[in-house]
Structure 1
Amino acid sequence: MKIKILLLLVIVGTHLPALQAQDIAIRKGIVRDSVPVNDSIPETFAIYLPTNFEPSVKWPVLFAMDMEGKGKQIVHMFREIAEKEGYILAASNNIHDSLSIVQNTLVVSRMLNTVYTLFPIHKQRTYTAGHGVGAQFASILPSVIRPIEGVISSGSDVPFKELIDPKNPFEFVGIVGRSDYHFNNLVEDSDLTTITRRALGKSKFVDYLLVFEGGEEWPDKSYLQRAVEILTLRSMSKGNVELDTAYVRSIYNRNFATLNNHVLENDYLAAAFLADEMISKFKGLVDLEELKKRRKVITREKVYSVQLRKQKRYMQKEYFIRGEYDYNLNDDVLTLNYNNLGWWNFQMDEIRKFIKSSDPFEKEMGYRLLGFVNALVEDNIALEKAQDPLNEEALSYLWMVKTITAPKEFKNYLNIISDSSKYEDFGTALFYLEELLKNGYRDKAALYALKNTALLRITPEFNEIIEKYFDDARYDIIEE
């Protein structure tokens, strides 16, 4: 396959033998959606080349991971940053969270080989990025595919640490919201000193941690920009790319201005986070004396001490509450303790109180607990589904808990209604039917098509509930 870079019609002089029958036109500065990996495999990837791309120069590349196979979408998200920083972007359209790690890794490996063959890539400047489960997968890849020098991980802590090879280190840039339930683990790891780490026998996984005001969503693009800048600055520190003093000074001045804004906004924790990030990433590139003095002033402020103490207190409280959730859920599933569903309702009331708190640290803890408990239940659901034979009662119990922790996730009610109807437990089915409709579900056609509910649908009680929420029922209610 010959790759034509159409914008001044620059042609890359390398091609894959298996793809010579095709000509794929790729415009610089335009996201190309479906570039084939090769002729024999129906796999494609999205790619972006910056407008200043020249085939005579080696380029850094960022492979972005979207676990729904939406390569074009995630490439568009990073496009402006790649253009500004001078990176090639690529993302597979064929990875998916329903596939195994091995299957997804093979898909990515084939994409990487194609990109390496078609474009002049700087092998010491190859990186991965992702959000949520995409970040988890991106973090695994440096240990199984080489060379990958760094990872931008948004909305996730470091998964499968046992897979990470300490002899093959890479830069880990974490981005997390203060209300994201991954926050505690990332802060704990990034705060470990070298002495503490040696005493505990732990490795440092988080090299840089960027914290924003928010939850589990993608951060503002300015944080993604900062993450990519860190990778570029580290390449300069290592000598993998020529030092650009104007570039370094520009970022330093911009970051310093942001740090001062945090102080003006009375967010001393954010200022300290940024100061630590700057000291690490600018080491060996600029004189850090002014920055170190500024950080010392910030950390001596009474407001900083109060904020840090409150954050640690709520993180500690959250740690114990999480342990309680974990213990109770495991015990409930083992014993099928339906009486404890009331306890879960109480816990959700407590979380809602935290979220309504006027104390921002308590509010953030509430959101983190909400994210944690839902992730905990989802993980247990996945574990039960993987069992052979399937424990249907345990799975049904977990769906019941999920209707409490996430009342707007309608699939859990539908699963219970279908499962209960299969065993003619119509009392349970009718209860969750009404709870489903109380929470706003209005897909009447889906209700009537729900598996195992043929007998349920002809009961007077079912039709009374349907008539109550839809003003009509498919079957007449017979008065006796």
Structure 2
Amino acid sequence: MKIFLYAISICFSTIVYAQEFRIHKGQVIDFVAMVNDSLKESYSIYLPKSFDEQKKWPVIYVFDPEKDGKKGVSAFSEGAEKFGYIVVGSNNIDDGSPQLNFRAFQRLSKEISTLFPIDESGVYVAGFSGAARLASSIAILSSKIKGVIACNAGFSSAYQPRKNTFSFVGIVGDTDFNFVELQNTVAFLKRRKFEAELFVFEGEHEWPPKFYLTKAIGSLELKRMTKGEKEKDETFAKTLYEEDYRNVQSLISKQQPTRAIEELDRMRTSYRFYFEVDSLKNKERSIRRTPILRKKISSERQALAEERLRRLDYIDIFSEDIDTIFMDNLGWWESEIKILDELIKGENKEKQKMGKRLKDLLYQLGTETAEGLDAGKYKEKVLYLQIFRTLADPKAYDAYLKIMVLSSRDQNFDMALYYTEELLKNGFKDKDKLYEEQGMSLLRIQPEFIELIRKYL
């Protein structure tokens, strides 16, 4: 039995719960405590303005890697309002343990299903970065999930899809280090007859613009109609079609022909059950025959092919270096990163993006590998990784500090002083941090350290 009542108001826009909190329709509510509050769990929620307890509603559970439910719900609120979805963002689920997060999701989804009339044919999960991997894992583990919106990451290595039980929409920035990963993920799913598609936006590793999140919801809603889970509405399909076609025209005007062709291909698949789509194939031929666009496509393909090869090499060599703690190879990495920097500064737009994606990938490899390693047990490995991080990102200030601590403990003051100066050269200004950092007391009394502080700060 549903445990909410409408408040007495002119617009009936507020819902009052038995536990005496209010949810205003059409507003993002950033904190709602779970009814069973023994675990101190909570969530953010958005109900569309048209919400009515007399009908069932699809729902999207959104996960943020920093447990910021409001951030995820706010990102999806525009699409939720347009297509009539409830959006729920957990304040407890992040990109950590899949098992713990899955149990937290079960508790959350059980409560939402108790409080609201949920349409079980429209239960979706979404997430950003590591939390996107979690969303995909939940879809694999739970037969109740009908679709995934994965922003800027694909699947966890521990959970790979075997059964075709959900639709997949990937969204990724064109300079995101996971760009190739999402392309590979969608291609993998399509080979296994999943309904899978990828939207690309102009940006880095960040929550996608609302336009693309809304587009993703619209795509899932169209799939519900196509599958017969919701009554077909050709007017609705036509509206989406026209919006997508305008997007294609915009991509062409921006000289992004590859993305335009990919969008046309997706449209042919999505709308073929509603009306004639042969004109889309003709549009694609027109793009491919335009000399300037054909040249652009060739440039994009060449850059992507090179990136795929470099990416595989980098991952293999990095893994070998970590296994053997091959310090001498840091010089090779430094030269490779300089090559990437030159690409980023160059005039070829596709090579710029490639350089940015690969350089960010290297930084991410170093950072993720270093996380969780015990510096006492794996001192040499941690030292290698922190030096590697400074090469990939000269402003990774925490990496310099870790190197200074590790080398100070070994009384290797030459290394500690070198990285102190590198830290300061690269713009570090927090003098208090230098004097508060644990493990550097012997370094701080060195005359050379004191002189560096005087020189730069």
Work out whether 1:428 is the aligned partner of 2:415: yes
Note the residue ranges of structure 1 that are not aligned, 5 or more in a row.
198-202, 471-480
* CA displacement at 1:206 relative to structure 2: 6.8
State the Cα deviation string for residues 220-259 of structure 1 (Å, max 9, x = none).
2211111110000000101111222221111111211221
Q: Which amino acid aligns with 2:71?
A: Q
C-alpha distance in structure 1 between counterparts of 2:153 and 2:6, whole Å: 36
Alignment of 1:250-289 (within 5 A): 250-289=239-278
| Preserved contact between residue 14 and residue 22 of structure 2 (Cα < 8 Å) | no
Alignment of 1:84-103 (within 5 A): 84-97=82-95, 99-103=96-100
Partner of 1:69: 67
Secondary structure of the residue that 2:42 maps to in structure 1?
A: strand
C-alpha distance in structure 2 between counterparts of 1:40 and 1:310, whole Å: 57
Change (3 A) 1:456 1:218: same
| Preserved contact between residue 2 and residue 12 of structure 1 (Cα < 8 Å) | no
Secondary structure of the residue that 1:156 maps to in structure 2?
A: coil
C-alpha distance in structure 2 between counterparts of 1:410 and 1:183, whole Å: 26
State the Cα deviation string for residues 35-85 of structure 1 (Å, max 9, x = none).
222233310111111111000100010111112111112211211221111
Partner of 1:182: 178
Work out whether 1:163 is the aligned partner of 2:159: yes
Partner of 1:418: 405
Q: Which amino acid aligns with 1:33?
A: D
* CA displacement at 1:260 relative to structure 2: 2.3
| Preserved contact between residue 31 and residue 43 of structure 2 (Cα < 8 Å) | yes
* CA displacement at 1:285 relative to structure 2: 2.2
Change (3 A) 1:264 1:327: closer
| Preserved contact between residue 132 and residue 156 of structure 1 (Cα < 8 Å) | yes
| Preserved contact between residue 3 and residue 25 of structure 1 (Cα < 8 Å) | no
Partner of 2:280: 291
Q: Which amino acid aligns with 1:440?
A: G
Alignment of 1:51-130 (within 5 A): 51-97=49-95, 99-130=96-127
Secondary structure of the residue that 1:315 maps to in structure 2?
A: helix
> Could you state the TM-score of these two structures normalised by the residue count of structure 1?
0.88
| Preserved contact between residue 189 and residue 205 of structure 1 (Cα < 8 Å) | no
Partner of 2:215: 226
One of 299, 304, 311 as aligned partner of 1:322: 311
Work out whether 1:374 is the aligned partner of 2:370: no
| Preserved contact between residue 434 and residue 465 of structure 1 (Cα < 8 Å) | yes
Secondary structure of the residue that 2:148 maps to in structure 1?
A: strand
| Preserved contact between residue 12 and residue 55 of structure 1 (Cα < 8 Å) | no
Change (3 A) 1:303 1:386: farther
* CA displacement at 1:302 relative to structure 2: 4.1
Q: Which amino acid aligns with 1:270?
A: R
Partner of 2:353: 364
> Could you state the TM-score of these two structures normalised by the residue count of structure 2?
0.92
Secondary structure of the residue that 1:163 maps to in structure 2?
A: coil
Q: Which amino acid aligns with 1:100?
A: S
* CA displacement at 1:403 relative to structure 2: 0.8
Corresponding pairs, count? 453
| Preserved contact between residue 333 and residue 394 of structure 1 (Cα < 8 Å) | yes
| Preserved contact between residue 396 and residue 416 of structure 1 (Cα < 8 Å) | yes
C-alpha distance in structure 2 between counterparts of 1:95 and 1:375, whole Å: 22
Partner of 1:478: none
Q: Which amino acid aligns with 1:447?
A: L
C-alpha distance in structure 2 between counterparts of 1:5 and 1:406, whole Å: 54
* CA displacement at 1:262 relative to structure 2: 2.5
Partner of 2:4: 3
Moved over 6 A (4+): 10-13
Alignment of 1:297-316 (within 5 A): 297-316=286-305
* CA displacement at 1:457 relative to structure 2: 1.1
One of 443, 447, 455 as aligned partner of 2:430: 443
* CA displacement at 1:145 relative to structure 2: 2.6
Change (3 A) 1:267 1:319: closer
Q: Which moved more, 1:166-175 or 1:123-132?
A: 166-175
Q: Which moved more, 1:260-269 or 1:349-358?
A: 260-269
| Preserved contact between residue 189 and residue 206 of structure 1 (Cα < 8 Å) | no
Change (3 A) 1:251 1:206: closer
* CA displacement at 1:416 relative to structure 2: 0.9
Alignment of 1:116-155 (within 5 A): 116-155=113-152
One of 408, 420, 424 as aligned partner of 2:395: 408
C-alpha distance in structure 2 between counterparts of 1:427 and 1:223, whole Å: 51
State the Cα deviation string for residues 195-223 of structure 1 (Å, max 9, x = none).
xx4xxxxx356711112233222332211
State the Cα deviation string for residues 375-410 of structure 1 (Å, max 9, x = none).
222232237x179x8211111111011111111111
C-alpha distance in structure 2 between counterparts of 1:145 and 1:9, whole Å: 35
One of 450, 453, 457 as aligned partner of 1:466: 453
CA RMSD between the two structures: 2.4
Secondary structure of the residue that 1:126 maps to in structure 2?
A: strand
Work out whether 1:236 is the aligned partner of 2:237: no
% same residue: 34
C-alpha distance in structure 1 between counterparts of 2:253 and 2:443, whole Å: 62
Partner of 1:474: none
Partner of 1:50: 48
Change (3 A) 1:350 1:118: same
Note the residue ranges of structure 2 that are not aligned, 5 or more in a row.
none
C-alpha distance in structure 1 between counterparts of 2:67 and 2:290, whole Å: 47
Partner of 1:213: 202
C-alpha distance in structure 2 between counterparts of 1:465 and 1:108, whole Å: 51
C-alpha distance in structure 1 between counterparts of 2:240 and 2:229, whole Å: 19
State the Cα deviation string for residues 301-328 of structure 1 (Å, max 9, x = none).
4445433332222222222222332333
State the Cα deviation string for residues 409-462 of structure 1 (Å, max 9, x = none).
111011111111122221111111111111111111111111111122111111
| Preserved contact between residue 15 and residue 22 of structure 2 (Cα < 8 Å) | no
C-alpha distance in structure 2 between counterparts of 1:111 and 1:257, whole Å: 38
C-alpha distance in structure 1 between counterparts of 2:189 and 2:205, whole Å: 27
